[in-house]
Structure 1
């Protein structure tokens, strides 16, 4: 019998005497032997038909082997079927866990920090009269009607066009009384405003309820929450994409000059610092100076580092660095600036004049305040010790010089590791802080007006002047319109919130994982729209809109988690315990010693470590043992000779199976315990079988797709390769057989499919509700994701 082959137009040559063709669906190895010719032309072939009986040649060589049909139809055999981890992950984490975690962190921690840092309202007329906030918390969702407070649930808000909000209650301590008799007293549960509550968060009435209790409240058990109800309308506060704060980014401007920029963010101020190399000289660009460019050596001398030799030492021993710095040193000498006093005098002439000058402000004080609070605001200055800032500037200059000497040292702004995602908790925190400070200013002004009157009442009660409408109206208006106006930071963003899409259940889930870009969609640039390799497993490669927003509006992948902020103090202490040498005790020359790496924690330089690999391994071991937060990231950058440790919020990370000595740590018995309900996904994390990696730490890992790909140097294994897709793209059957744009079209159109949107759809009465399909049918093709 003859085996039929389909011949295509590209040919490969191989020697049949030394090559055997092994087909995976054959029961036996198919070894080619030819007697008459010594070379055989064979191309890439596809079997059309084959007979099941074996045909043998004269010498017994099998020409047409039998085909195992069962093997062809069987799924890929794996040592351990890890698929069950995916539903367990979604059961524990859910698709909107990042929204809930962010909002919970805000109401439990962040709001207390904001109130604590602005706790005192002191009268400028009589400084002995003050009010102090001692504590703050969020109450239960309620509404006051005819002077009576009633509990609220989300379904009532939807049907009655109410805002689902809870009172913000504070404990206050204040002085009241007449001129001569001043009494200190306190009050508890003073309402300072109302906070819109995210559904299913820790402040929501649905939190922790089972299916029966949710049904009594008129809620769908499958509804994930993560949105707000404002005036009866469901509003989603979309994830915002921003460049990473407090990180050095090296790039070029339009003229081709190399820049080192840092977008600093502290509790008090936000600023952008840029150091630029132009015509072989280094300049500082900062908004507070009238001259666009200030020689960087003048700034360093103004911070107290007068010795040129020490600056050269802080850059490193390589003579190329000192050669590149020489023109900047010469420029400083030409200006006649050698001391700190001369440098401060030079900068004073360049400072922008204040809009409302005060007689008390000294000229040197103004320059020092800019250098202390605005210039690199993320680097803290204690007293007048500017040495940490000088070292930070030296690291920025060194990075610029590395980029000049080697173009590979440039940073990519579109790299996911250089970005942060702002979630609802961070965005509401910004808005609340601005509104709270405005309220304090109004209260102080009202109290001063009363106290300045000579004929004021003898009974004066400070707590009566707290205005509740300022915070309530501000938060409600922003969530309703989507306009975020933060006056302190001159931030004015539009379109931050959208009405939750209720056309289909999948449409709602896809809406919750959508990411909005940082700049205008109308800009015709291809870079940010392109698919970045660093998006693998973090962002869905298919789910993006068509048209001008293509590639800019993105969606999270199925197992992506967005981190929230963690407490920094214990981690900094741990770093010093594990052998990090403190920056304060290092000389300029020791900074870049050949055998050591700088340790940078959340953008702050802690010091250096002589054994960076051992240090990073120690932190990873502690993380796997549960002694350090599961989302703490450690990244050893060999090119920059730095160890980056990150615990800040907004990083995207995903879970991966740990591989040790060429073996996956997740075994068959673990998966059996998971299937029996004995083990949960969190147990895998606690026992160090699975861990979260962010984009930067993935650079230190070698990740295998399947068990068969594991090598001795492999560090991690994918849980399931299809989790690189998002919620909508994951439902497409056989997406790898489609042309790429077809998957993108299906992501958009799949959200419009008519179907049942929720269990409580009969009682939902909003403009987006459509009649459900009356005769639902099962899909022709099904897959694991469905």
Structure 2
């Protein structure tokens, strides 16, 4: 066993999961965040800052992260090492450069690359100056394994240090992994409503940092209702599915029913929508949604609110384009089917503590959430500065409108205090250096978001699916017992893959793609 563990850690650091996640963030996700942000009204396309200056907007281009540097009092700069940052109470961060393209009257002008702020750099990551490839580049040398260790010792760095943490104002800070329910996955459960048990299917639909809880519930009288954010009351499922494009009763039945026993419930819901709510086609369904969302407003505004709910709020992980509405209708039908299967005893409720239903948010995911909010604030500030310069008849120049402190200070403040976006606290913690094992343990810690004051007996218990993934012994006593856990010795966290690659792999294995024509009778896939 010892040989196996030694071989495992010869190739990996104890914090490899954090390092890989952070590298993914810097190499891919940071550009994705920029590409999906827009500032202005709702009609502004992604990657654009729309100003109130007539005919003037800014297109956001590529973004890149440099290497950690220090700037001396005489203005000179040099590369910064982690030990120097510790000793001089500095922040181990690197400049971020971004390309902005001013667009005036539809004509794109010369791009400007601007320093938009500094990004904290993880020790041991691909942007760290003491990472082997970077160190060889800086020293213009090629090192063997032993020579690399000797060079680290010369720089006063520990060759056996796991990395995976940040240095903020000289303090070592680690981002603690967060355990959460898997997004974009339908889960069914029983809930108590007014002393009675009802069946509910819910999904945390997540896309580009926006997270919406969508649920389908079967009422006592058999009616199927949908809960969606921004709607004060529940909306009948059949009304929603008609508004999304399923027109005929046959299409609705095909989207939900897989067993004859489900037919009476679904037909009763279709009849209720027609008789009680006067909804028999798509236009009537959209009008019904508009009255629910903006009763008393102008008809055009009501329709706009209904379409915004369907495209932006409902199941955002399936897309924002009106062309995706049919997919959303089929998905709601699948959720309704899960509810009926649970109600008829054909399926059991999902186990929320099963580790297949959990996801771990690592340093890269947490930094992505923080960067998205911080960069949005920077983009809004650029818009304000451009409009201010225009009102004072100054030249409109992006480089003078960018205040790099806006981004840098938000990132550093969150890292220094542990107060993260979304109201979470304690995300960033002072690295425990009591002993080497304490540091290894700290970078492999996993925290549950559940409240410590509540019993949560099942969440605190050992679950069979934690075997080989989480340590069964290492958890604190007291209120944190079972909610603060640690990864097992040889745990690896998968880094995720592109959805398109997975789809093609499934097709290669014989999975057949869903033909929407099977539901609608059309030719679309």
Could you tell me the TM-score, scaled by structure 1's length? 0.60
1:446–1:480 distance in 2 versus 1, CA, 3 Å = same
Residue 206 of structure 1 corresponds to which residue in structure 2? Answer: 130
Instruction: Indicate yes or no: 2:87 matched with 1:145.
Output: no
Q: CA deviation at 1:234?
A: 0.7
Q: Which runs of 5+ in 1 are unaligned?
A: 1-81, 486-490, 591-605, 608-786
Q: What SS does structure 2 have at the residue aligned with 1:528?
A: helix
Distance in 1 separating the partners of 2:457 and 2:346: 21
Instruction: Indicate yes or no: 2:351 matched with 1:432.
Output: no
Distance in 2 separating the partners of 1:422 and 1:353: 40
Superposition map of 1:347-366 within 5 A = 347-351=289-293, 362-366=301-305
Q: CA deviation at 1:132?
A: 3.1
Bigger mean CA deviation after superposition, 311-320 or 530-539: 311-320
Distance in 2 separating the partners of 1:165 and 1:495: 21
The structure having more radius of gyration, on CA atoms, is: 1
Contact 1:481 1:497 in 2 (8 A): yes
Contact 2:186 2:202 in 1 (8 A): yes
Residue 289 of structure 1 corresponds to which residue in structure 2? Answer: 231
Residue 155 of structure 1 corresponds to which residue in structure 2? Answer: 83
Distance in 1 separating the partners of 2:153 and 2:425: 36
Instruction: Indicate yes or no: 2:111 matched with 1:186.
Output: yes
Q: CA deviation at 1:298?
A: 1.2
Q: CA deviation at 1:114?
A: 1.7
* Aligned residue among 529, 536, 541 for 2:460: 529
Write out per-residue CA displacement over residues 19-60 of structure 1, whole angstroms, 9 at most, x where no aligned residue: xxxxxxxxxxxxxxxxxxxxxxxxxxxxxxxxxxxxxxxxxx
User: Aligned-residue CA RMSD in angstroms?
Assistant: 2.5
* Aligned residue among 160, 168, 176 for 1:238: 176
* Aligned residue among 386, 399, 405 for 1:463: 399
Residue 389 of structure 2 corresponds to which residue in structure 1? Answer: 450
Superposition map of 1:610-689 within 5 A = none
Contact 1:290 1:352 in 2 (8 A): no
1:353–1:263 distance in 2 versus 1, CA, 3 Å = farther
Distance in 2 separating the partners of 1:467 and 1:116: 20
Instruction: Indicate yes or no: 2:72 matched with 1:135.
Output: no
* Aligned residue among 116, 121, 125 for 2:35: 116
Write out per-residue CA displacement over residues 279-325 of structure 1, whole angstroms, 9 at most, x where no aligned residue: 1221111221122x221111111112132222222234421111232
Instruction: Indicate yes or no: 2:441 matched with 1:510.
Output: yes
Q: CA deviation at 1:254?
A: 2.8
Distance in 1 separating the partners of 2:406 and 2:179: 28
Q: CA deviation at 1:362?
A: 2.5
Q: CA deviation at 1:161?
A: 1.1
Write out per-residue CA displacement over residues 655-702 of structure 1, whole angstroms, 9 at most, x where no aligned residue: xxxxxxxxxxxxxxxxxxxxxxxxxxxxxxxxxxxxxxxxxxxxxxxx
Q: CA deviation at 1:385?
A: 5.1
Q: CA deviation at 1:368?
A: 1.2
Could you tell me the TM-score, scaled by structure 2's length? 0.88
Residue 10 of structure 1 corresponds to which residue in structure 2? Answer: none
Superposition map of 1:695-774 within 5 A = none
Residue 340 of structure 1 corresponds to which residue in structure 2? Answer: 282
Contact 2:184 2:204 in 1 (8 A): yes
Instruction: Indicate yes or no: 2:88 matched with 1:169.
Output: no
Q: Which runs of 5+ in 2 are unaligned?
A: 38-46, 136-147
Contact 1:126 1:451 in 2 (8 A): no
1:361–1:588 distance in 2 versus 1, CA, 3 Å = closer
Distance in 2 separating the partners of 1:238 and 1:159: 24
Write out per-residue CA displacement over residues 704-748 of structure 1, whole angstroms, 9 at most, x where no aligned residue: xxxxxxxxxxxxxxxxxxxxxxxxxxxxxxxxxxxxxxxxxxxxx
Q: CA deviation at 1:95?
A: 1.6
Contact 2:25 2:365 in 1 (8 A): yes
Distance in 1 separating the partners of 2:324 and 2:379: 33
1:223–1:217 distance in 2 versus 1, CA, 3 Å = same
Distance in 1 separating the partners of 2:299 and 2:426: 43
Contact 1:174 1:463 in 2 (8 A): no
Distance in 2 separating the partners of 1:212 and 1:240: 36
Write out per-residue CA displacement over residues 540-577 of structure 1, whole angstroms, 9 at most, x where no aligned residue: 11111111111111111111111223223333234345
Contact 2:294 2:305 in 1 (8 A): no
* Aligned residue among 474, 485, 495 for 2:426: 495
Contact 1:273 1:375 in 2 (8 A): yes
Q: What SS does structure 2 have at the residue aligned with 1:110?
A: helix
Distance in 2 separating the partners of 1:516 and 1:353: 43
* Aligned residue among 235, 255, 260 for 2:201: 260
Instruction: Indicate yes or no: 2:331 matched with 1:392.
Output: yes
Distance in 1 separating the partners of 2:151 and 2:202: 53
1:395–1:193 distance in 2 versus 1, CA, 3 Å = same
Residue 55 of structure 1 corresponds to which residue in structure 2? Answer: none
Distance in 1 separating the partners of 2:339 and 2:252: 15
1:121–1:348 distance in 2 versus 1, CA, 3 Å = closer
Q: How many corresponding residue pairs?
A: 493
Contact 1:136 1:169 in 2 (8 A): yes
Q: CA deviation at 1:585?
A: 4.9
Instruction: Indicate yes or no: 2:512 matched with 1:581.
Output: yes
Distance in 1 separating the partners of 2:325 and 2:103: 40
Contact 1:372 1:381 in 2 (8 A): yes
Distance in 2 separating the partners of 1:589 and 1:184: 47
Q: What SS does structure 2 have at the residue aligned with 1:192?
A: strand
Q: What SS does structure 2 have at the residue aligned with 1:562?
A: coil
Residue 216 of structure 1 corresponds to which residue in structure 2? Answer: 154
Q: CA deviation at 1:253?
A: 1.9
Q: CA deviation at 1:131?
A: 3.4
- Give the helix-richer structure, 1 or 2: 2
Residue 480 of structure 1 corresponds to which residue in structure 2? Answer: 416
Q: CA deviation at 1:83?
A: 5.5
Instruction: Indicate yes or no: 2:251 matched with 1:251.
Output: no
Residue 245 of structure 2 corresponds to which residue in structure 1? Answer: 304
Q: CA deviation at 1:445?
A: 1.2
Q: What SS does structure 2 have at the residue aligned with 1:263?
A: strand
Instruction: Indicate yes or no: 2:20 matched with 1:101.
Output: yes
Distance in 1 separating the partners of 2:158 and 2:166: 16
Residue 92 of structure 1 corresponds to which residue in structure 2? Answer: 11
**Which of 1 and 2 has higher RCO (CA within 8 Å, sep 6+)?**
2
Q: CA deviation at 1:148?
A: 2.8
Residue 126 of structure 1 corresponds to which residue in structure 2? Answer: 54
Contact 1:164 1:230 in 2 (8 A): yes
* Aligned residue among 564, 569, 579 for 2:500: 569
Distance in 1 separating the partners of 2:385 and 2:241: 45
Q: CA deviation at 1:360?
A: 11
